[in-house]
Amino acid sequence: MIHPTAVVDPGAEIDSNVEIGPFTVIASDVQIHSGAIIGSHVTIDQYTTLGCDCHIFQHAAIGAVPQDLKFKGEKSVVKIGRGTTIREFVTIHRGTELGGGITEIGEENFLMAYTHVAHDCFTGRKVIFANAASLAGHIRVGDYAILGAFVAVHQFVRIGDYAYIGGMTGVTKDIPPYVLVSGTPRARLYGLNAVGLKRHNFSKETMLALKKTYRILFRLGLTLNEGIERVTAEVDQIPEVVNFIKFVKSSERGITR
């Protein structure tokens, strides 16, 4: 059902069972798939794709051109994954040529009010952004990560799977997977995200292996290379430990410690 006051460009592709609220504006070259619900006063700009069963609340702005002085009007896109919820006043911007031309929100994400996702960002599955969390450009967020209210993340930072970042934290370096991070103005590690891992049914053996990995890397005063060598020698190489080490080794911005 499309409200009669909504403005929908004829070039938009909208499945028949999509709901669009009053005074919402849908541009051309937009695709909105089955079961999506779009509230009032929403703007969805050109080259945006909205997956099935998404819910966008009032006054969100999706697919606007990026806030990047290098952007010269090239075609770029926003993709929103299936089952994602986008609350009031959220802003999500298109990608740029430099960043690959795509901003992508994964499946079943939950973006609370005033969240901002800048150009060329990528999020995994079931990521949660609390109110006013903000991503600068070219950021990658892993599966099941949680960002607290007013978290601000610097350009090109990576955030690992199942990481938890406390509110008001400024993030300037990569956040490893499975960890708890907080700090104003500078982020610091505070151990494993034990509560989150238990809620996702991580086994006792996995938790112990990750705890040992964390301790070796960040609590023994070793360099990262020394820590990686020791983890490889002393800790069972289960998939989660391998993921942890791979993330740390591939960091270009440096690791939050």
Strand partners, 129: 111, 147
How far apart are alpha carbons 87 and 83 in whole angstroms? 13
Q: Residue 146: inside a domain, yes or no?
A: no
Active-site residue (options: 33, 99, 106, 120): 120
pLDDT in tens, 117-129: 999 999 999 999 9
Q: Are residues 37 and 133 in the same domain?
A: yes
pLDDT at res. 35:
98
pLDDT at res. 227:
98
Domain edge (last residue) among 138, 173, 208: 138
Q: Residue 147: inside a domain, yes or no?
A: no
Q: Quote the tokens at residue 149.
A: 């209210």
Active-site residue (options: 33, 93, 116, 119): 119
pLDDT in tens, 180-194: 999 988 899 999 999
Residues 217, 245 contacting (CB under 8 angstroms): no
Q: At what angle do helices 204-218 and 224-234 cross, to 10 degrees?
A: 150
Domain edge (last residue) among 90, 123, 138: 138
Residues 124, 138 contacting (CB under 8 angstroms): no
Q: Are residues 121 and 239 in the same domain?
A: no
Helix (H, G, I), strand (E, B) or coil at 234: helix
Residue 25 has, within 13 A of its CA and on its CB side, a CA count of 10
Active-site residue (options: 81, 99, 124, 137): 137
Residues with Cβ within 8 Å of 11's Cβ and at least 6 positions away in sequence, in order, are 27, 28, 29, 30
Pairing of strands 179-182, 188-192: antiparallel
Residues 146, 115 contacting (CB under 8 angstroms): no
Respond yes or no: is residue 120 known to be catalytic. Answer: yes
Q: Residue 157: inside a domain, yes or no?
A: no
* CA 32 to mean position of chain CA atoms: 21
Query: Mean pLDDT across the chain, nearest whole number?
Result: 98
Phi, then psi, of 194 in degrees rounded to 5 = -60, -45
Respond yes or no: is residue 137 known to be catalytic. Answer: yes
| Short-list 55, 16, 13, CA closest to 34 | 16
Q: Does the pLDDT at position 13 exceed 90?
A: yes
pLDDT in tens, 25-58: 999 999 999 999 999 999 999 999 999 999 999 9
Q: Are residues 105 and 23 in the same domain?
A: yes
> How many domains is the chain built from?
2
Q: Are residues 34 and 102 in the same domain?
A: yes
pLDDT in tens, 125-163: 999 999 999 999 999 999 999 999 999 999 999 999 999
Q: Domain of residue 204: give its range.
A: 197-249
Q: Are residues 23 and 105 in the same domain?
A: yes
- CATH assignment at residue 76: 2.160.10.10
Q: Are residues 122 and 209 in the same domain?
A: no
Q: Are residues 133 and 205 in the same domain?
A: no
Residues 87, 112 contacting (CB under 8 angstroms): yes
Q: Are residues 207 and 109 in the same domain?
A: no
Q: Quote the pTM value.
A: 0.97
- CATH assignment at residue 211: 1.20.1180.10
pLDDT at res. 186:
86
pLDDT in tens, 78-102: 999 999 999 999 999 999 999 999 9
Q: Tokens 């099935």 appear where?
A: 52
Domain edge (last residue) among 138, 164, 187: 138
Write the burial class of residue 239 (CB in 10 Å: 0-12 exposed, 13-18 middle, 19+ buried): exposed
Q: Residue 167: inside a domain, yes or no?
A: no
The angle formed by the CA atoms of residues 106, 240 and 127, to the nearest 5 degrees, is 20
Q: Are residues 21 and 133 in the same domain?
A: yes
Distances from the Cα of 41 to the Cαs of 38, 52, 60, 189, in angstroms?
9, 20, 8, 40
Q: Which DSSP string do the residues of 15-31 spell out, in sequence order?
A: -TT-EE-TT-EE-TT-E
